[in-house]
Amino acid sequence: MRKLPHVFLLCTLTISAYTPAIQADDNYTSQVAEKFTRGTANLFTGLGEVPKNIVNASEKTNAVVGSTGGLIMGTLDTLGRTASGIFDILSSPLPTESLIQPEYVWQDFKQPTSYGAAYID
């Protein structure tokens, strides 16, 4: 009965020393850091979607329709990019692809923002 705490401690230390295959990868820390950085950038630069959408919508139509439609779409994309940033920060220990394309608001400014394409094959 006296050895039970020692056996329990030994089992606990053995289990805590286990490293899953995903963490054994040399690239794991860089993937986690990249996802955390992407999430932080998207969290704080989500407002950049508003002028991006206004410019893109104005080029496709005219200035009046583009500014109104771009403001609405930009606001929705701001919410989406900010939510994606929060999700990336909270799930950064699990390295996955970005939920949003382009990954950052300043990448490929003419490309419309899309969501979820990373998981569709």
Residue 5 has pLDDT above 70, yes or no: yes
The whole-number pLDDT of residue 121 equals 45
Q: What is the rounded CA–CA span in Å between residue 32 and residue 96? A: 9
Residue 67 has pLDDT above 90, yes or no: yes
The whole-number pLDDT of residue 2 equals 72
Residues 6+ away with beta carbon under 8 Å from 82: 42, 43, 46
Residue 120 has pLDDT above 60, yes or no: no
**Residue 18: how many CA atoms within 13 Å on its side-chain side?**
7
The whole-number pLDDT of residue 17 equals 53
> Mean pLDDT in the chain?
83
pLDDT by residue (tens digit) across 85-98? 999 999 999 888 88
